[in-house]
């Protein structure tokens, strides 16, 4: 939102003064005053010299090109992450150690460089992906530029210049606008050339209908929707033509302000809840790694630094650089073990899979982290027009005249779109049109300039209106009414359009003249000629004005009677009823006796044609009318919205409606869809955007913190941004939906911006994180459910990977603490973290969702990934992993058999535990020898017996690595459910996990039994007995976690019982 937004509610005038420097409220001044102020006349326009002078002051009429973040800055930002920085330090240290070891030459050099190179590769891939994602952030601004007009028709020096590049306009230019023109700048309407001018500006203001423009000034403090004498850049003329005066260009226009707001909103993108959690975890991990590395260093300092005490003072210091380097390598191994290197890749994979699931549900995710953010959404701020409603006008009520004893007949009309087959007229069983209904159908079909087309031909095809939405809705009504029995349908006539009934009426009665709508008489009329050459005037317009000019009324049987007080009151009662429900009401009337036009056929030389050239004659022509009926229209709510809102309530998600439409219409829609109850008092929950901005900050926060739904009508872009900002400041996770240009800044600012795919502008789509392919509000609810499921699965694999890493840390710590040879080297740990753990962790993303996932309140954005009980559980599991991996290493060296499994088949020598723990003193031992042993087809021999604890540890290391892999595979089964037993949630509920475990074991077998790979990883093949030992040592991890889960379930159940009993007591 920018600085202006904070004070916007205090005074829009002050905000404009502050932004524009030169402030002139052209909308509140009359035409002559505007021309005088800008020193121009509409007849002559500006001179070439004056244009050049003004360009020096105001510049070109174009939106600014904001300088984006440099690629170098983006690359640096990718390393602004705690886990990444730890990895970077570990990689650098590993590389330095590899260089030191490489001086010795030989085969070890290859192994030493694998680890740092792999870590560097991970960091490079992570940086490339991050830069690619962030480099797309400013596309919303590019899309905004595309909706600007490219050319304009301008009057300069008394001459009309067509196709002047719009960027060359300056304030004071005189511009002519015609139907279909895209408006090139913000302009004051000086003169209407046609009788009426209508502009489609809903994408900027949120209004559901095209707006009629006037030359009359309005109040200075009106909102943007109230500036009826202004037209705005980027909007479109849908009816009429006029002369305008350019008042603002470029960044000073309303669309320019939106451009600035999008840019400012993009500067303040917050981290997603998961990103924040991972950063917190990384910081905690840094502290833990530092503490453990220091502890390991202190435990082993005696091995590379010794001294003697003489007279109480340490002397004769002895330092072994080789052993110091060795224990430093252990510390690096510890860091590698503690960091879940595969976590970023697994998270990205899981989110990508989530986007595919959502795409199948018509939710297209543009930014991967949005998948997770959806899961903790607490508030959905929804636009009304085009989001909760269809943005397609539809007739919902048809009122026709009855017989003498029954004044009014009323029919409810179903349907929410321009599809004629969408709904029908209730109680329309006979489908036989009486004379009165025929007249209504004829007027609706012929006094009409709109058309409806089918866009596309497959299942996803939809119907679109060409022309005024209100008129298109009337033609759809004609199709639902059908044709009278004496009119043949148009089949076989060659007509292949959607509106067959309207086409049939146009063939019977030919339109020969049009009395255009104007704001004074508030009606439109057409003169038609029937096949028997009879002329009729058909009129539609505001009911009150038609009644004033009507003398008669047509009854059900077609008879004509005088419009007396009884009929007038009945019609006005229907009008008031529909108006109270925020329907737009149109009346229908006609006249058969047209003596002036009895011989008129459209010929310009006919005397009657002169009457039509002067719009002042239209009211007298449209007099002595026969009133036929009326209809109520609206932009109807989508059918699925009420249920979707109910699902939101069940899921603990608040829905706030923010719309640019008028208050009465918005309140009626909100009552209908369930934001408010039918008869609820909503004065404290329904405000205009301006009223909200006039509140103090404290009152704004109190208003937004109310329970239940809220409505903000007549909202402008800055109002929407202020609402989103305050909600975020109060700790809410905000999803913002919208489709217009006016929604783009708030979409950018929200935690997750959701744009409409069909009705949405490109600006809104580019500013969003997610696009709804079907413009269906209920798709958002489905996407939230999917987001929650994905988050739960992400928690499962994060806990799995962290618990596995805890086991690795425990293993290295125990190795250092006990003083035994190093069991696992860094490259092996890296392989386990990246490759072996990766498939099961990814497969946990396919865990089926909980059945009650949308019946729980949203999690808080600051909820911990790992609570104290889960941390304790995985400390226990990690401790067992450490004991198992170190234990099997010790068992191989010290035992000939274990649990009845014979380990002496390879012929290796046994040592005592004391010898193993003090292996560094081997050169001082008397008569120590080590026998050669077999490893697959290879025989391991030693020239120096003490090498038995160095090169000879290769079999023990292989057993430790295999136990680590096996335990982590079994541990992935534990992660299927946080507290559920494997008896209630067996492994086959997620077949992908079983497949992933098979892949991981296959990869482990690959490095064991392919000699080249075995050499790189420093391992050897195992015998069948040794594999039995691996399984026997690894399997208990499942039994241990089952016991811990049982304790957790009992504790949770006890807590719930105490909460229930406490609630009952209260």
Non-local (6+) Cβ contacts of 1055 within 8 A are: none
**Which residues, in sequence order, are CB contacts of 307 under 8 Å at separation 6+?**
314, 315, 316, 317, 318
Number of helices (H), then strands (E), belonging to the chain: the values are 37, 34
775, 831, 910, 677: which is closest to 362 by C-alpha?
A: 775
Q: Which of 78, 86, 94, 120 is nearest to 285 (CA)?
A: 86
Contact 14, 7 (CB under 8 A): yes
Q: Within 13 A of 467's CA, how many CA atoms are on the CB side?
A: 13
State the Cα angle at 639 between 635 and 645, rounded to 5°: 100
Distances (CA, A) of 406 to 437, 555, 562, 700: 15, 10, 15, 52
The edge-to-edge listing of strands for the beta sheet with 151-156 is 159-165, 151-156, 174-177, 242-248, 186-192, 230-231
Q: What is the DSSP string of 931-970?
A: --EEETTEEE--SSGGGGGTGGGHHHHHHHHHHHHHHHHH
CA distances from residue 1015 to 44, 940, 988 in whole angstroms, order as listed: 89, 13, 36
DSSP, residue by residue, 137-197: TTHHHHHHHHTS-SEEEEEETTEEEEEEEGGG--TT-EEEE-TTPBP-SEEEEEEESSS--
Q: Cα(789)–Cα(852) distance, rounded to whole angstroms?
A: 11
Question: What is the C-alpha separation between 342 and 928, in angstroms, rounded?
Answer: 43
223 annotated active-site: no
Under a CB-based contact definition with an 8 Å cutoff, are residues 723 and 123 in contact? Answer: no
**CA separation, residue 1064 to residues 1052, 1054, 1060 (Å):** 18, 15, 6
Query: For residues 832 and 815, what is the distance between their CA atoms, to the nearest angstrom?
Result: 18
Secondary structure element (H or E) that encloses residue 1046, with its range: helix 1036-1065
Give dist(CA 732, CA 705) in Å, integer: 10
Give the H or E element holding residue 333: helix 321-338
In angstroms, the CA 401 to CA 411 distance is 11
Smallest CA-to-CA distance from 374 within 775, 749, 796, 770 is with 770
Can you name the residues that pair with 133 across neighbouring β-strands? Answer: none
Q: Which helix (H) or strand (E) holds 828?
A: helix 826-831
**Is 434 within 8 Å of 557 (Cβ atoms)?**
yes
For the chain, report the end-to-end CA distance as a whole number of angstroms.
46
Q: Are 344 and 278 in contact (CB under 8 A)?
A: no
Chain-centre distance of CA 576, in angstroms?
40
Q: Which among 81, 173, 186, 383 is annotated as catalytic?
A: 383
Q: What is the DSSP letter of 859?
A: P
d(CA 750, CA 791): 19
What distance in Å separates the CA atoms of residue 596 and residue 580, rounded to the nearest whole number?
40
Residue 389 DSSP code: B
Distance CA 795, CA 141 (A): 36
Rounded to a whole number of angstroms, the CA Rg of the chain reads 39
State the catalytic residues.
Answer: 383
């Amino acid at each position: 939102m920018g600085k202006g937004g904070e004070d916007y509610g205090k005074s829009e005038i002050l905000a404009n003064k502050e932004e524009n420097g030169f402030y002139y409220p052209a909308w509140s001044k009359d035409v002559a005053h505007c021309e005088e102020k800008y020193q121009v006349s509409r007849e002559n326009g500006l001179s070439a010299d004056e244009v050049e002078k003004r360009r020096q002051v105001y510049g070109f009429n174009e939106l600014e090109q904001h300088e984006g973040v440099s690629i170098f800055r983006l690359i640096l930002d990718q390393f602004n992450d705690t886990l990444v920085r730890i990895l970077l330090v570990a990689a650098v240290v590993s590389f330095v150690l590899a260089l030191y070891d490489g001086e010795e030459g030989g085969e070890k050099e290859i192994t030493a460089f694998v680890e740092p190179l792999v870590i560097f590769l991970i960091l490079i891939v992570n940086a490339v992906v991050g830069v690619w994602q962030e480099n797309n952030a400013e596309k919303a601004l590019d899309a905004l530029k595309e909706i600007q007009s490219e050319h304009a028709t301008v009057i300069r020096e008394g001459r009309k210049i067509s196709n002047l590049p719009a960027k060359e306009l300056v304030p004071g230019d005189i511009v002519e606008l015609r139907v279909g023109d895209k408006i090139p700048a913000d302009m004051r309407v000086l003169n209407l050339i046609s009788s009426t001018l209508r502009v489609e500006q809903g994408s900027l203001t949120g209004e559901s209908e095209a707006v009629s423009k006037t030359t009359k000034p309005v109040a200075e403090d009106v909102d943007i929707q109230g500036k009826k004498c202004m037209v705005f850049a980027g909007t479109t003329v849908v009816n009429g033509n006029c002369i305008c005066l350019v008042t603002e260009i470029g960044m000073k226009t309303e669309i320019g302000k939106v451009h600035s707001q999008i840019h400012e909103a993009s500067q303040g993108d917050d981290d997603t809840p998961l990103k924040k959690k991972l950063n917190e975890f990384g910081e905690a991990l840094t502290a833990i790694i530092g503490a453990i590395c220091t502890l390991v260093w202190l435990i082993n300092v005696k091995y590379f630094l010794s001294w003697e005490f003489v007279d109480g003072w340490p002397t004769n210091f002895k330092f072994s650089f080789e052993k110091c380097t060795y224990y430093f390598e252990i510390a690096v191994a510890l860091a590698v073990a503690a960091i879940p290197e595969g976590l970023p890749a697994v998270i990205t994979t899981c989110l990508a899979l989530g986007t595919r699931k959502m795409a199948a549900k018509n939710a297209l995710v543009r930014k991967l982290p949005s998948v997770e953010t959806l899961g903790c959404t607490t508030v959905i701020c929804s636009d009304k027009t085009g989001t909760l409603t269809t943005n397609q006008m539809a007739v919902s009520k048809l009122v026709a005249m009855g017989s003498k004893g029954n004044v009014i007949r009323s029919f409810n009309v179903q349907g929410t779109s321009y599809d004629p087959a969408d709904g029908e007229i209730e109680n329309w069983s006979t489908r036989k049109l009486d004379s009165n209904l025929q007249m209504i159908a004829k007027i609706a079909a012929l006094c009409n300039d709109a058309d409806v087309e089918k866009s596309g031909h497959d299942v996803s095809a939809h119907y679109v209106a060409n022309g005024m939405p209100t008129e298109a809705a009337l033609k759809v009504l004609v199709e639902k009414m059908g044709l009278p029995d004496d009119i043949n349908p148009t089949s076989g006539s060659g007509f292949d359009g959607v509106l067959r009934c309207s086409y049939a009426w146009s063939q019977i009665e030919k339109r020969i003249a049009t009395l255009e709508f104007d704001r004074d008489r508030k009606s439109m009329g057409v003169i038609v000629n029937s096949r028997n050459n009879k002329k009729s005037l058909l009129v539609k317009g505001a009911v009150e004005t038609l009644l004033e000019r009507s003398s008669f009324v047509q009854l059900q049987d077609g008879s004509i009677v005088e419009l007396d007080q009884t009929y007038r009151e009945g019609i006005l009662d229907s009008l008031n009823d529909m108006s109270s429900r925020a329907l737009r009401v149109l009346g229908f009337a006609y006249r058969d006796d047209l003596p002036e036009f009895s011989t008129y056929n459209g010929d310009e030389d006919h005397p009657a044609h002169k009457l039509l050239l002067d719009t002042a004659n239209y009211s007298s022509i449209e007099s002595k009318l026969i009133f036929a009926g009326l209809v109520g229209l609206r932009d109807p709510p989508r059918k699925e919205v009420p249920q979707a809102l109910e699902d939101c309530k069940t899921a603990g998600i608040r829905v706030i409606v923010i719309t640019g439409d008028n208050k009465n219409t918005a309140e009626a829609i909100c009552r209908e869809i369930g934001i408010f109850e039918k008869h609820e008092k909503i004065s404290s929950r329904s405000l205009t955007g301006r009223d909200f901005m006039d509140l103090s900050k404290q009152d704004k926060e109190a208003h937004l913190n109310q329970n239940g739904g809220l409505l903000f009508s007549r909202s402008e872009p800055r109002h929407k941004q202020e609402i989103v900002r305050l909600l975020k400041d109060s700790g809410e996770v905000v999803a913002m939906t919208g489709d217009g240009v006016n929604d783009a800044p708030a979409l950018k600012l929200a935690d997750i911006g959701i744009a409409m795919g069909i009705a949405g502008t490109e600006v809104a789509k580019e500013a969003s994180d997610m696009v709804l392919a079907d413009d269906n509000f209920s798709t958002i609810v489905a996407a939230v459910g999917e987001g929650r499921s994905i988050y739960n699965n992400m928690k499962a694999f994060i806990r799995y990977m962290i618990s596995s890493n805890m086991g690795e840390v425990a293993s290295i710590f125990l190795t250092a603490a006990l003083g035994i040879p190093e069991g696992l080297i860094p490259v092996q740990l890296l392989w386990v973290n990246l490759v072996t753990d990766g498939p099961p962790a990814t497969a946990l993303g396919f865990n089926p969702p909980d059945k009650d996932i949308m019946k729980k309140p949203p999690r808080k954005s600051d909820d911990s990934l790992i609570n104290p009980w889960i941390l304790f559980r995985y400390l226990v599991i990690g401790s067992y992993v450490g004991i198992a991996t170190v234990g099997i290493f010790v068992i191989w060296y010290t035992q000939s058999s274990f649990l009845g499994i014979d380990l002496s088949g390879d012929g290796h020598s046994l040592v005592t535990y004391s010898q193993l723990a003090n292996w560094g003193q081997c050169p001082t031992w008397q008569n120590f020898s080590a026998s050669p042993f077999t490893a697959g087809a290879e025989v391991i021999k030693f020239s120096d017996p003490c090498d038995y604890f160095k090169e000879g540890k290769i079999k023990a290391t292989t057993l430790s690595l295999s136990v680590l892999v096996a335990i982590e595979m079994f541990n992935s089964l534990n992660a299927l459910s946080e507290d559920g037993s494997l008896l209630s949630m067996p492994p086959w509920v997620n077949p992908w996990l079983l497949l992933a475990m098979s892949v991981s074991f296959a990869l482990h077998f690959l490095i064991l039994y392919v000699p080249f790979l075995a050499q790189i990883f420093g391992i050897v093949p195992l015998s069948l007995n040794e594999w039995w030992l691996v399984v026997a040592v690894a399997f208990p991890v499942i039994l241990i976690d089952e016991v811990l889960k049982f304790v957790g379930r009992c504790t949770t159940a006890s807590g719930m019982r105490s909460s229930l009993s406490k609630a009952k007591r209260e």
